[in-house]
Structure 1
Amino acid sequence: MAVTQHAVLRPHFTAWRDVPTGIYATATQLKTMDLPRRPGPPAATVDGQDGIGRSTTIALYRIDQSAPTASTAAQLAAARSRVENPVRVCADCGARPDRAPIATESYGALCPACWHIRGLRQHQEEAARERAGAARIARGLLRAPQNRPLGVLHVDYTERGHTPAGTRRRPSAAKVTVIGANGLVLAEPLLRLVSPRAKGIPDGASDPVQGAEALAAVLSQLTVLIWRYRDLDDLSAGLRTQGATWPLPTGQYVHEMCRLATAWRGEVTPDGDRPVAVAPGRADRMLYLLTQIADTEQAPALPIGAAS
Protein backbone atom coordinates (compact mmCIF):
# COMPACT_ATOMS: atom_id res chain seq x y z
CA MET A 1 0.00 0.00 0.00
CA ALA A 2 1.44 3.35 -1.05
CA VAL A 3 0.95 5.67 1.94
CA THR A 4 2.79 8.89 2.62
CA GLN A 5 2.53 11.21 5.61
CA HIS A 6 1.50 14.87 5.43
CA ALA A 7 3.13 17.43 7.68
CA VAL A 8 0.24 17.08 10.17
CA LEU A 9 0.84 13.32 10.22
CA ARG A 10 -2.48 12.54 8.54
CA PRO A 11 -2.15 9.52 6.22
CA HIS A 12 -2.44 10.12 2.50
CA PHE A 13 -3.56 7.32 0.15
CA THR A 14 -2.62 7.36 -3.52
CA ALA A 15 -5.64 5.27 -4.59
CA TRP A 16 -9.09 4.41 -3.26
CA ARG A 17 -8.15 0.72 -3.12
CA ASP A 18 -5.62 1.58 -0.41
CA VAL A 19 -8.20 3.20 1.90
CA PRO A 20 -9.02 0.78 4.77
CA THR A 21 -12.59 -0.46 4.56
CA GLY A 22 -14.92 0.74 7.32
CA ILE A 23 -12.45 3.25 8.76
CA TYR A 24 -12.70 6.36 6.61
CA ALA A 25 -15.44 8.08 4.61
CA THR A 26 -15.89 11.35 2.73
CA ALA A 27 -18.27 14.01 3.95
CA THR A 28 -20.73 13.03 1.21
CA GLN A 29 -20.53 9.36 2.15
CA LEU A 30 -21.26 10.24 5.78
CA LYS A 31 -24.18 12.43 4.73
CA THR A 32 -25.73 9.69 2.57
CA MET A 33 -25.47 6.93 5.18
CA ASP A 34 -28.69 5.18 6.15
CA LEU A 35 -28.56 7.19 9.39
CA PRO A 36 -26.67 10.34 8.28
CA ARG A 37 -23.69 11.60 10.24
CA ARG A 38 -21.58 14.77 10.49
CA PRO A 39 -17.82 14.49 9.91
CA GLY A 40 -15.37 15.06 12.71
CA PRO A 41 -11.91 16.55 12.11
CA PRO A 42 -10.15 15.65 8.84
CA ALA A 43 -8.30 12.39 9.38
CA ALA A 44 -6.74 11.49 6.00
CA THR A 45 -6.69 12.31 2.30
CA VAL A 46 -6.87 10.29 -0.91
CA ASP A 47 -6.06 11.06 -4.53
CA GLY A 48 -9.22 11.03 -6.64
CA GLN A 49 -11.35 13.02 -9.07
CA ASP A 50 -13.86 15.78 -8.61
CA GLY A 51 -17.34 15.89 -10.13
CA ILE A 52 -16.06 16.80 -13.59
CA GLY A 53 -13.21 14.30 -13.74
CA ARG A 54 -10.30 16.50 -12.68
CA SER A 55 -7.62 15.08 -10.42
CA THR A 56 -7.91 16.33 -6.87
CA THR A 57 -7.18 15.47 -3.26
CA ILE A 58 -10.21 14.38 -1.25
CA ALA A 59 -10.55 14.76 2.51
CA LEU A 60 -11.44 11.68 4.52
CA TYR A 61 -12.94 11.47 8.01
CA ARG A 62 -12.91 8.67 10.53
CA ILE A 63 -16.35 7.10 10.81
CA ASP A 64 -15.87 6.45 14.51
CA GLN A 65 -15.19 10.17 15.06
CA SER A 66 -18.34 11.32 13.22
CA ALA A 67 -21.53 12.37 14.99
CA PRO A 68 -25.24 11.99 14.21
CA THR A 69 -26.84 14.83 12.28
CA ALA A 70 -29.58 16.88 13.91
CA SER A 71 -32.29 15.08 11.92
CA THR A 72 -34.87 13.29 14.03
CA ALA A 73 -36.26 9.88 13.22
CA ALA A 74 -39.48 11.52 11.97
CA GLN A 75 -37.51 13.81 9.67
CA LEU A 76 -35.49 10.88 8.32
CA ALA A 77 -38.65 8.89 7.64
CA ALA A 78 -40.26 11.86 5.91
CA ALA A 79 -37.19 12.42 3.75
CA ARG A 80 -37.09 8.74 2.85
CA SER A 81 -40.74 8.78 1.82
CA ARG A 82 -40.07 11.59 -0.64
CA VAL A 83 -37.46 9.51 -2.49
CA GLU A 84 -38.88 7.30 -5.24
CA ASN A 85 -37.72 3.68 -4.87
CA PRO A 86 -34.93 4.29 -2.33
CA VAL A 87 -32.28 1.60 -2.81
CA ARG A 88 -30.50 0.61 0.39
CA VAL A 89 -30.31 -3.16 -0.21
CA CYS A 90 -27.54 -4.91 -2.19
CA ALA A 91 -29.08 -6.56 -5.25
CA ASP A 92 -26.68 -9.52 -5.01
CA CYS A 93 -26.28 -10.47 -1.36
CA GLY A 94 -29.13 -8.61 0.29
CA ALA A 95 -26.86 -6.68 2.66
CA ARG A 96 -28.16 -3.41 4.08
CA PRO A 97 -24.93 -1.44 4.56
CA ASP A 98 -24.73 1.80 6.53
CA ARG A 99 -23.23 3.50 3.49
CA ALA A 100 -25.31 3.81 0.34
CA PRO A 101 -24.81 0.87 -2.09
CA ILE A 102 -23.00 1.52 -5.37
CA ALA A 103 -25.47 2.07 -8.21
CA THR A 104 -24.77 0.12 -11.42
CA GLU A 105 -26.80 0.04 -14.65
CA SER A 106 -26.43 -3.70 -15.25
CA TYR A 107 -26.62 -5.22 -11.78
CA GLY A 108 -28.54 -2.74 -9.64
CA ALA A 109 -27.26 -1.39 -6.33
CA LEU A 110 -24.29 -3.34 -4.93
CA CYS A 111 -22.50 -3.33 -1.61
CA PRO A 112 -18.72 -2.76 -1.90
CA ALA A 113 -17.96 -6.50 -1.65
CA CYS A 114 -20.41 -7.48 -4.41
CA TRP A 115 -19.25 -4.58 -6.58
CA HIS A 116 -15.66 -5.86 -6.20
CA ILE A 117 -16.75 -9.43 -6.97
CA ARG A 118 -18.56 -8.28 -10.12
CA GLY A 119 -15.42 -6.51 -11.25
CA LEU A 120 -13.34 -9.64 -10.65
CA ARG A 121 -15.87 -11.72 -12.61
CA GLN A 122 -15.50 -9.37 -15.56
CA HIS A 123 -11.72 -9.76 -15.39
CA GLN A 124 -12.14 -13.55 -15.25
CA GLU A 125 -14.48 -13.56 -18.26
CA GLU A 126 -11.94 -11.52 -20.21
CA ALA A 127 -9.20 -13.95 -19.11
CA ALA A 128 -11.30 -16.91 -20.31
CA ARG A 129 -11.56 -15.36 -23.77
CA GLU A 130 -7.82 -14.75 -23.87
CA ARG A 131 -7.17 -18.34 -22.75
CA ALA A 132 -9.08 -19.66 -25.76
CA GLY A 133 -7.05 -17.38 -28.03
CA ALA A 134 -3.79 -18.60 -26.49
CA ALA A 135 -4.77 -22.22 -27.20
CA ARG A 136 -5.40 -21.38 -30.86
CA ILE A 137 -2.01 -19.68 -31.18
CA ALA A 138 -0.23 -22.62 -29.51
CA ARG A 139 -1.84 -25.10 -31.89
CA GLY A 140 -0.77 -22.93 -34.80
CA LEU A 141 2.84 -22.88 -33.59
CA LEU A 142 2.94 -26.66 -33.25
CA ARG A 143 1.50 -26.99 -36.76
CA ALA A 144 4.11 -24.68 -38.25
CA PRO A 145 4.69 -25.43 -41.95
CA GLN A 146 7.45 -27.87 -42.89
CA ASN A 147 9.44 -25.13 -44.57
CA ARG A 148 9.49 -23.23 -41.27
CA PRO A 149 9.04 -25.78 -38.41
CA LEU A 150 9.01 -24.84 -34.76
CA GLY A 151 12.21 -24.41 -32.77
CA VAL A 152 12.08 -23.72 -29.02
CA LEU A 153 15.06 -21.68 -27.82
CA HIS A 154 16.35 -21.27 -24.26
CA VAL A 155 19.57 -19.68 -22.99
CA ASP A 156 21.54 -20.61 -19.85
CA TYR A 157 24.28 -18.17 -18.85
CA THR A 158 27.57 -18.78 -17.09
CA GLU A 159 27.50 -16.13 -14.39
CA ARG A 160 30.62 -14.48 -12.99
CA GLY A 161 29.24 -12.87 -9.87
CA HIS A 162 29.59 -9.19 -9.01
CA THR A 163 32.36 -6.63 -8.80
CA PRO A 164 33.54 -5.36 -5.38
CA ALA A 165 31.25 -2.37 -5.97
CA GLY A 166 28.26 -4.68 -6.38
CA THR A 167 27.87 -4.42 -10.15
CA ARG A 168 26.88 -7.64 -11.89
CA ARG A 169 29.57 -8.88 -14.26
CA ARG A 170 28.51 -9.80 -17.76
CA PRO A 171 28.17 -13.59 -18.23
CA SER A 172 31.21 -15.27 -19.71
CA ALA A 173 29.27 -17.69 -21.91
CA ALA A 174 25.79 -18.70 -23.01
CA LYS A 175 24.53 -22.21 -23.70
CA VAL A 176 21.84 -21.86 -26.37
CA THR A 177 19.54 -24.88 -26.57
CA VAL A 178 17.20 -25.25 -29.54
CA ILE A 179 14.79 -28.18 -29.75
CA GLY A 180 12.19 -29.09 -32.34
CA ALA A 181 8.48 -29.82 -31.84
CA ASN A 182 9.42 -33.51 -31.42
CA GLY A 183 11.72 -32.66 -28.50
CA LEU A 184 14.95 -33.49 -30.34
CA VAL A 185 17.89 -31.12 -29.96
CA LEU A 186 18.54 -29.12 -33.14
CA ALA A 187 21.44 -27.05 -31.80
CA GLU A 188 23.18 -26.61 -28.46
CA PRO A 189 26.23 -24.36 -28.81
CA LEU A 190 28.12 -22.91 -25.86
CA LEU A 191 29.11 -19.43 -27.01
CA ARG A 192 31.83 -17.34 -25.39
CA LEU A 193 30.56 -13.81 -24.63
CA VAL A 194 33.74 -12.15 -23.33
CA SER A 195 37.37 -11.79 -24.37
CA PRO A 196 39.23 -15.11 -24.51
CA ARG A 197 41.55 -13.73 -21.80
CA ALA A 198 38.71 -13.09 -19.35
CA LYS A 199 38.26 -15.23 -16.27
CA GLY A 200 35.42 -17.67 -15.72
CA ILE A 201 35.05 -18.99 -19.26
CA PRO A 202 33.78 -22.60 -19.10
CA ASP A 203 35.58 -25.40 -20.91
CA GLY A 204 34.24 -26.02 -24.38
CA ALA A 205 33.02 -22.46 -25.03
CA SER A 206 33.28 -21.88 -28.76
CA ASP A 207 34.39 -18.86 -30.74
CA PRO A 208 31.40 -16.48 -30.74
CA VAL A 209 31.74 -15.45 -34.38
CA GLN A 210 31.79 -18.96 -35.80
CA GLY A 211 29.29 -20.25 -33.23
CA ALA A 212 26.79 -17.45 -33.92
CA GLU A 213 27.05 -18.05 -37.68
CA ALA A 214 26.34 -21.76 -37.25
CA LEU A 215 23.43 -21.02 -34.91
CA ALA A 216 22.02 -18.45 -37.33
CA ALA A 217 22.04 -21.06 -40.11
CA VAL A 218 19.85 -23.35 -37.98
CA LEU A 219 17.48 -20.63 -36.73
CA SER A 220 16.99 -19.15 -40.20
CA GLN A 221 15.01 -22.30 -41.11
CA LEU A 222 12.75 -22.20 -38.04
CA THR A 223 9.79 -20.48 -36.45
CA VAL A 224 11.48 -19.65 -33.14
CA LEU A 225 9.75 -19.64 -29.77
CA ILE A 226 11.51 -17.80 -26.94
CA TRP A 227 10.30 -16.90 -23.46
CA ARG A 228 11.03 -13.16 -23.53
CA TYR A 229 13.26 -10.97 -25.66
CA ARG A 230 14.83 -9.42 -22.58
CA ASP A 231 16.12 -12.83 -21.52
CA LEU A 232 18.40 -12.60 -24.55
CA ASP A 233 19.86 -9.19 -23.66
CA ASP A 234 23.11 -10.62 -22.25
CA LEU A 235 23.50 -12.88 -25.28
CA SER A 236 23.00 -9.95 -27.63
CA ALA A 237 25.41 -7.68 -25.76
CA GLY A 238 28.08 -10.37 -25.46
CA LEU A 239 27.98 -11.34 -29.13
CA ARG A 240 28.04 -7.70 -30.18
CA THR A 241 31.14 -6.93 -28.11
CA GLN A 242 32.89 -9.95 -29.66
CA GLY A 243 32.03 -8.87 -33.20
CA ALA A 244 29.56 -11.71 -33.82
CA THR A 245 26.31 -11.37 -35.76
CA TRP A 246 22.92 -11.73 -34.10
CA PRO A 247 21.65 -15.23 -34.96
CA LEU A 248 17.93 -14.81 -34.21
CA PRO A 249 15.53 -14.24 -37.12
CA THR A 250 13.53 -11.04 -37.12
CA GLY A 251 9.86 -10.16 -37.28
CA GLN A 252 7.12 -12.73 -37.74
CA TYR A 253 9.37 -15.76 -37.24
CA VAL A 254 10.02 -15.14 -33.54
CA HIS A 255 7.32 -15.47 -30.86
CA GLU A 256 7.44 -14.65 -27.14
CA MET A 257 5.91 -17.39 -25.02
CA CYS A 258 5.62 -15.37 -21.80
CA ARG A 259 2.54 -13.43 -22.93
CA LEU A 260 1.03 -16.58 -24.42
CA ALA A 261 1.47 -18.53 -21.18
CA THR A 262 0.19 -15.64 -19.07
CA ALA A 263 -2.96 -15.43 -21.18
CA TRP A 264 -3.48 -19.20 -20.99
CA ARG A 265 -3.03 -19.35 -17.21
CA GLY A 266 -5.58 -16.55 -16.96
CA GLU A 267 -5.21 -16.06 -13.22
CA VAL A 268 -6.86 -13.00 -11.68
CA THR A 269 -5.71 -11.89 -8.23
CA PRO A 270 -8.12 -10.52 -5.60
CA ASP A 271 -6.84 -7.07 -6.61
CA GLY A 272 -7.85 -7.68 -10.23
CA ASP A 273 -4.26 -7.98 -11.50
CA ARG A 274 -3.02 -10.62 -13.95
CA PRO A 275 0.16 -12.31 -12.64
CA VAL A 276 2.89 -12.95 -15.20
CA ALA A 277 3.46 -16.66 -15.82
CA VAL A 278 6.61 -18.12 -14.27
CA ALA A 279 9.31 -19.05 -16.77
CA PRO A 280 9.71 -22.82 -17.36
CA GLY A 281 13.50 -22.48 -17.20
CA ARG A 282 14.39 -25.09 -19.87
CA ALA A 283 13.66 -25.62 -23.55
CA ASP A 284 11.98 -29.00 -22.99
CA ARG A 285 9.77 -27.53 -20.27
CA MET A 286 8.80 -24.67 -22.61
CA LEU A 287 7.78 -27.22 -25.23
CA TYR A 288 5.83 -29.20 -22.64
CA LEU A 289 3.99 -26.05 -21.56
CA LEU A 290 3.22 -25.20 -25.20
CA THR A 291 1.65 -28.63 -25.73
CA GLN A 292 -0.41 -28.15 -22.57
CA ILE A 293 -1.71 -24.85 -23.92
CA ALA A 294 -2.47 -26.37 -27.32
CA ASP A 295 -4.33 -29.32 -25.75
CA THR A 296 -6.70 -27.06 -23.80
CA GLU A 297 -10.24 -28.31 -24.34
CA GLN A 298 -12.60 -25.74 -25.76
CA ALA A 299 -15.54 -25.96 -23.38
CA PRO A 300 -18.82 -24.25 -24.29
CA ALA A 301 -18.82 -20.62 -23.22
CA LEU A 302 -20.63 -20.22 -19.91
CA PRO A 303 -20.86 -17.20 -17.64
CA ILE A 304 -18.23 -17.38 -14.91
CA GLY A 305 -19.74 -19.01 -11.85
CA ALA A 306 -22.63 -20.59 -13.74
CA ALA A 307 -23.41 -24.24 -13.10
CA SER A 308 -22.22 -26.57 -15.84
Structure 2
Amino acid sequence: MNQLYSRQDYQAESALFDKRLGFLDLYDQAASLVPIGAWSCDLASDRLNWTDGVYDIFGLPNDAAVERQDAIRMFSEESRDLLERKRAQAIERRHGFTLEASILRPDGAERWIRITAAARGSHGRSEILFGMKQDITDDRMRWDLLRAQAECDPLTGIANRTPFQRFLDPPPREPATDLIGTLILLDIDDFKRINDRWGHAASDACLVNFAEQLRRTFVDAHLVSRIGGDEFAVLLPPSVSQRQAKAKLLSLTARLLRPIQWNGDPLTLTVSAGFAFASGDDSYDAQMLFNTADEALYCAKKRKISRRA
Protein backbone atom coordinates (compact mmCIF):
# COMPACT_ATOMS: atom_id res chain seq x y z
CA MET A 1 0.00 0.00 0.00
CA ASN A 2 1.38 3.39 -0.96
CA GLN A 3 2.26 5.72 1.90
CA LEU A 4 0.87 9.23 1.58
CA TYR A 5 3.02 12.04 2.94
CA SER A 6 1.54 15.28 4.10
CA ARG A 7 3.29 18.56 3.52
CA GLN A 8 4.18 18.64 7.21
CA ASP A 9 5.73 15.14 6.99
CA TYR A 10 7.81 16.16 4.01
CA GLN A 11 9.00 19.33 5.70
CA ALA A 12 9.91 17.45 8.89
CA GLU A 13 11.83 14.78 6.97
CA SER A 14 13.59 17.39 4.89
CA ALA A 15 14.58 19.30 8.01
CA LEU A 16 15.96 16.09 9.57
CA PHE A 17 17.96 15.35 6.41
CA ASP A 18 19.38 18.86 6.39
CA LYS A 19 20.28 18.49 10.07
CA ARG A 20 22.16 15.26 9.41
CA LEU A 21 24.03 16.82 6.50
CA GLY A 22 24.86 19.77 8.71
CA PHE A 23 26.14 17.47 11.43
CA LEU A 24 28.31 15.51 8.99
CA ASP A 25 29.69 18.74 7.57
CA LEU A 26 30.41 19.99 11.09
CA TYR A 27 32.17 16.69 11.92
CA ASP A 28 34.34 16.94 8.80
CA GLN A 29 35.29 20.52 9.69
CA ALA A 30 36.06 19.59 13.31
CA ALA A 31 38.05 16.50 12.31
CA SER A 32 40.25 18.68 10.11
CA LEU A 33 41.37 20.61 13.18
CA VAL A 34 42.95 17.58 14.90
CA PRO A 35 44.64 14.42 13.57
CA ILE A 36 41.78 11.99 14.12
CA GLY A 37 40.01 9.27 12.18
CA ALA A 38 37.49 6.46 12.43
CA TRP A 39 38.20 2.77 12.01
CA SER A 40 36.53 -0.62 12.12
CA CYS A 41 37.67 -4.24 12.05
CA ASP A 42 35.54 -7.15 10.90
CA LEU A 43 36.32 -9.91 13.41
CA ALA A 44 35.52 -12.78 11.06
CA SER A 45 38.05 -11.69 8.44
CA ASP A 46 40.24 -9.19 10.37
CA ARG A 47 39.56 -6.77 7.52
CA LEU A 48 40.31 -3.16 8.43
CA ASN A 49 38.37 -0.13 7.33
CA TRP A 50 40.07 3.24 7.92
CA THR A 51 39.08 6.80 7.16
CA ASP A 52 41.68 9.14 5.69
CA GLY A 53 42.50 10.47 9.14
CA VAL A 54 43.79 7.09 10.33
CA TYR A 55 45.94 6.65 7.21
CA ASP A 56 47.46 10.06 7.92
CA ILE A 57 48.19 9.16 11.54
CA PHE A 58 50.01 5.97 10.48
CA GLY A 59 51.85 7.78 7.68
CA LEU A 60 50.39 5.58 4.95
CA PRO A 61 48.89 6.52 1.56
CA ASN A 62 45.11 6.65 1.65
CA ASP A 63 44.75 3.99 -1.05
CA ALA A 64 47.05 1.46 0.67
CA ALA A 65 45.64 -1.98 1.45
CA VAL A 66 46.57 -2.48 5.11
CA GLU A 67 46.44 -5.91 6.71
CA ARG A 68 45.82 -5.95 10.45
CA GLN A 69 49.08 -7.76 11.17
CA ASP A 70 50.99 -5.11 9.21
CA ALA A 71 49.37 -2.39 11.32
CA ILE A 72 50.05 -4.29 14.56
CA ARG A 73 53.75 -4.54 13.74
CA MET A 74 53.96 -0.75 13.77
CA PHE A 75 53.13 -0.71 17.51
CA SER A 76 55.88 -0.85 20.12
CA GLU A 77 56.15 -4.21 21.86
CA GLU A 78 54.65 -2.92 25.12
CA SER A 79 51.77 -1.15 23.35
CA ARG A 80 51.14 -4.16 21.12
CA ASP A 81 50.86 -6.54 24.07
CA LEU A 82 48.51 -4.17 25.91
CA LEU A 83 46.37 -3.63 22.80
CA GLU A 84 45.98 -7.33 22.15
CA ARG A 85 45.01 -7.97 25.77
CA LYS A 86 42.41 -5.19 25.86
CA ARG A 87 41.09 -6.17 22.43
CA ALA A 88 40.58 -9.79 23.48
CA GLN A 89 38.72 -8.69 26.61
CA ALA A 90 36.50 -6.33 24.62
CA ILE A 91 35.61 -9.07 22.13
CA GLU A 92 34.89 -11.60 24.86
CA ARG A 93 32.79 -9.26 27.00
CA ARG A 94 31.34 -7.13 24.18
CA HIS A 95 32.41 -3.83 25.68
CA GLY A 96 34.80 -1.04 24.79
CA PHE A 97 38.22 0.18 25.84
CA THR A 98 40.52 3.19 25.63
CA LEU A 99 44.25 2.87 25.10
CA GLU A 100 47.22 5.17 24.57
CA ALA A 101 49.82 3.45 22.41
CA SER A 102 53.09 4.27 20.67
CA ILE A 103 53.72 3.45 17.00
CA LEU A 104 56.67 3.70 14.64
CA ARG A 105 55.60 4.90 11.20
CA PRO A 106 57.28 3.82 7.94
CA ASP A 107 58.97 7.24 7.73
CA GLY A 108 60.66 6.56 11.08
CA ALA A 109 58.51 8.99 13.08
CA GLU A 110 57.44 7.82 16.52
CA ARG A 111 53.89 8.83 17.37
CA TRP A 112 51.50 8.38 20.29
CA ILE A 113 47.87 7.61 19.51
CA ARG A 114 44.72 7.31 21.60
CA ILE A 115 42.48 4.43 20.55
CA THR A 116 38.84 4.26 21.58
CA ALA A 117 36.99 1.09 20.70
CA ALA A 118 33.62 -0.57 21.09
CA ALA A 119 32.36 -4.03 20.16
CA ARG A 120 29.17 -4.66 18.24
CA GLY A 121 27.47 -7.95 17.41
CA SER A 122 24.45 -10.11 17.82
CA HIS A 123 23.30 -13.26 19.61
CA GLY A 124 25.84 -12.68 22.39
CA ARG A 125 28.79 -12.65 19.99
CA SER A 126 31.05 -9.77 18.93
CA GLU A 127 31.21 -9.30 15.17
CA ILE A 128 32.93 -5.96 14.69
CA LEU A 129 35.20 -3.59 16.58
CA PHE A 130 35.00 0.09 15.72
CA GLY A 131 36.02 3.44 17.12
CA MET A 132 38.34 6.42 16.74
CA LYS A 133 42.10 6.94 16.61
CA GLN A 134 43.68 10.27 17.48
CA ASP A 135 47.29 11.45 17.30
CA ILE A 136 48.19 12.71 20.79
CA THR A 137 51.96 12.97 20.34
CA ASP A 138 52.17 16.67 21.21
CA ASP A 139 49.91 16.28 24.24
CA ARG A 140 51.90 13.26 25.37
CA MET A 141 55.20 15.13 25.07
CA ARG A 142 53.86 18.02 27.14
CA TRP A 143 52.49 15.61 29.74
CA ASP A 144 55.75 13.62 29.89
CA LEU A 145 57.69 16.86 30.40
CA LEU A 146 55.43 18.00 33.23
CA ARG A 147 55.51 14.55 34.80
CA ALA A 148 59.31 14.35 34.56
CA GLN A 149 59.60 17.73 36.24
CA ALA A 150 57.18 16.70 38.99
CA GLU A 151 58.92 13.36 39.58
CA CYS A 152 62.52 14.58 39.49
CA ASP A 153 64.52 15.24 42.63
CA PRO A 154 65.77 18.81 42.07
CA LEU A 155 69.05 18.27 43.96
CA THR A 156 70.33 14.99 42.49
CA GLY A 157 68.49 14.87 39.16
CA ILE A 158 67.25 11.32 39.68
CA ALA A 159 63.66 10.34 40.45
CA ASN A 160 62.08 11.50 43.68
CA ARG A 161 59.76 9.52 45.98
CA THR A 162 56.69 9.86 43.73
CA PRO A 163 57.43 7.14 41.13
CA PHE A 164 58.67 4.80 43.85
CA GLN A 165 55.44 5.35 45.78
CA ARG A 166 53.53 4.50 42.61
CA PHE A 167 55.42 1.18 42.60
CA LEU A 168 54.37 0.55 46.21
CA ASP A 169 50.76 1.73 45.74
CA PRO A 170 49.78 1.46 42.05
CA PRO A 171 46.64 3.38 41.07
CA PRO A 172 43.42 1.31 40.98
CA ARG A 173 42.86 -0.62 37.73
CA GLU A 174 46.32 0.36 36.49
CA PRO A 175 48.49 -2.77 36.41
CA ALA A 176 52.25 -2.40 36.63
CA THR A 177 53.85 -2.51 33.19
CA ASP A 178 57.44 -3.08 34.39
CA LEU A 179 58.26 -6.51 35.81
CA ILE A 180 60.48 -6.31 38.89
CA GLY A 181 63.23 -8.77 39.72
CA THR A 182 65.09 -7.01 42.53
CA LEU A 183 64.51 -4.13 44.92
CA ILE A 184 67.56 -2.56 46.57
CA LEU A 185 67.25 -0.04 49.39
CA LEU A 186 70.38 1.98 50.18
CA ASP A 187 71.31 4.30 53.03
CA ILE A 188 74.46 6.43 53.30
CA ASP A 189 76.36 5.59 56.49
CA ASP A 190 76.91 8.32 59.10
CA PHE A 191 75.34 10.94 56.86
CA LYS A 192 74.40 13.11 59.84
CA ARG A 193 78.07 13.27 60.81
CA ILE A 194 78.95 14.68 57.37
CA ASN A 195 76.22 17.26 57.67
CA ASP A 196 77.18 18.26 61.21
CA ARG A 197 80.92 18.53 60.49
CA TRP A 198 81.02 20.11 57.02
CA GLY A 199 77.57 21.66 56.66
CA HIS A 200 74.58 21.34 54.35
CA ALA A 201 76.45 22.31 51.19
CA ALA A 202 78.95 19.49 51.71
CA SER A 203 76.23 16.93 52.44
CA ASP A 204 74.35 18.08 49.31
CA ALA A 205 77.51 17.52 47.26
CA CYS A 206 77.75 14.00 48.71
CA LEU A 207 74.13 13.28 47.76
CA VAL A 208 74.70 14.51 44.21
CA ASN A 209 77.83 12.37 43.87
CA PHE A 210 76.13 9.29 45.31
CA ALA A 211 73.13 9.65 42.99
CA GLU A 212 75.44 9.93 39.98
CA GLN A 213 77.32 6.80 41.03
CA LEU A 214 74.02 4.96 41.43
CA ARG A 215 72.92 6.01 37.97
CA ARG A 216 76.20 4.87 36.40
CA THR A 217 76.22 1.55 38.23
CA PHE A 218 72.59 0.56 37.62
CA VAL A 219 72.18 1.69 34.02
CA ASP A 220 69.67 -1.09 33.34
CA ALA A 221 67.40 -0.22 36.28
CA HIS A 222 63.70 0.48 35.85
CA LEU A 223 64.03 3.16 38.52
CA VAL A 224 66.75 4.88 40.56
CA SER A 225 65.06 7.05 43.15
CA ARG A 226 65.86 9.22 46.14
CA ILE A 227 63.09 8.24 48.55
CA GLY A 228 64.24 10.17 51.63
CA GLY A 229 67.01 12.43 52.87
CA ASP A 230 69.91 9.99 52.38
CA GLU A 231 67.78 6.98 51.40
CA PHE A 232 67.68 5.61 47.88
CA ALA A 233 65.91 2.79 46.04
CA VAL A 234 66.75 0.84 42.88
CA LEU A 235 64.29 -1.34 40.95
CA LEU A 236 65.91 -3.89 38.65
CA PRO A 237 64.22 -6.01 35.97
CA PRO A 238 64.10 -9.83 36.16
CA SER A 239 66.82 -9.99 33.49
CA VAL A 240 69.33 -8.92 36.17
CA SER A 241 70.09 -11.99 38.27
CA GLN A 242 70.64 -11.95 42.03
CA ARG A 243 74.34 -12.55 41.47
CA GLN A 244 74.55 -9.68 39.00
CA ALA A 245 72.65 -7.35 41.35
CA LYS A 246 75.08 -8.07 44.17
CA ALA A 247 78.04 -7.64 41.83
CA LYS A 248 76.72 -4.23 40.82
CA LEU A 249 76.52 -3.22 44.49
CA LEU A 250 80.16 -4.25 44.97
CA SER A 251 81.03 -2.12 41.94
CA LEU A 252 79.18 0.81 43.51
CA THR A 253 81.07 0.35 46.77
CA ALA A 254 84.36 0.45 44.88
CA ARG A 255 83.32 3.66 43.12
CA LEU A 256 82.51 5.28 46.45
CA LEU A 257 86.05 4.59 47.73
CA ARG A 258 87.18 7.45 45.50
CA PRO A 259 86.48 10.45 47.76
CA ILE A 260 85.13 13.77 46.63
CA GLN A 261 87.03 16.90 47.58
CA TRP A 262 85.31 19.52 49.70
CA ASN A 263 87.31 22.65 50.54
CA GLY A 264 90.47 20.57 50.45
CA ASP A 265 89.05 17.78 52.63
CA PRO A 266 88.37 14.32 51.15
CA LEU A 267 84.83 13.10 51.82
CA THR A 268 84.48 9.33 51.51
CA LEU A 269 81.07 7.69 51.54
CA THR A 270 80.10 4.20 52.57
CA VAL A 271 76.67 2.71 52.12
CA SER A 272 74.48 0.01 53.61
CA ALA A 273 72.06 -1.91 51.40
CA GLY A 274 69.18 -4.34 51.68
CA PHE A 275 68.04 -6.67 48.91
CA ALA A 276 64.67 -8.22 48.15
CA PHE A 277 64.22 -10.61 45.22
CA ALA A 278 60.89 -11.23 43.52
CA SER A 279 59.77 -14.73 42.64
CA GLY A 280 60.26 -15.86 39.07
CA ASP A 281 56.56 -16.11 38.20
CA ASP A 282 56.17 -12.49 36.99
CA SER A 283 54.13 -11.59 40.08
CA TYR A 284 55.20 -9.82 43.24
CA ASP A 285 53.85 -8.05 46.30
CA ALA A 286 55.47 -4.61 46.24
CA GLN A 287 54.89 -3.92 49.92
CA MET A 288 56.33 -7.32 50.88
CA LEU A 289 59.41 -6.64 48.75
CA PHE A 290 59.83 -3.29 50.46
CA ASN A 291 59.48 -4.80 53.95
CA THR A 292 62.03 -7.52 53.11
CA ALA A 293 64.56 -5.06 51.71
CA ASP A 294 64.01 -2.65 54.59
CA GLU A 295 64.61 -5.41 57.16
CA ALA A 296 67.79 -6.45 55.31
CA LEU A 297 68.96 -2.83 55.27
CA TYR A 298 68.33 -2.50 59.01
CA CYS A 299 70.36 -5.65 59.69
CA ALA A 300 73.23 -4.45 57.48
CA LYS A 301 73.45 -1.12 59.35
CA LYS A 302 73.21 -2.88 62.70
CA ARG A 303 76.13 -5.17 61.80
CA LYS A 304 78.28 -2.14 60.87
CA ILE A 305 77.47 -0.43 64.18
CA SER A 306 78.30 -3.61 66.11
CA ARG A 307 81.68 -3.92 64.39
CA ARG A 308 82.56 -0.34 65.30
CA ALA A 309 81.49 -0.76 68.92
TM-score range, shorter chain: under 0.3
More helix by share: 2
Report the TM-score, using the length of structure 1 for normalisation: 0.21
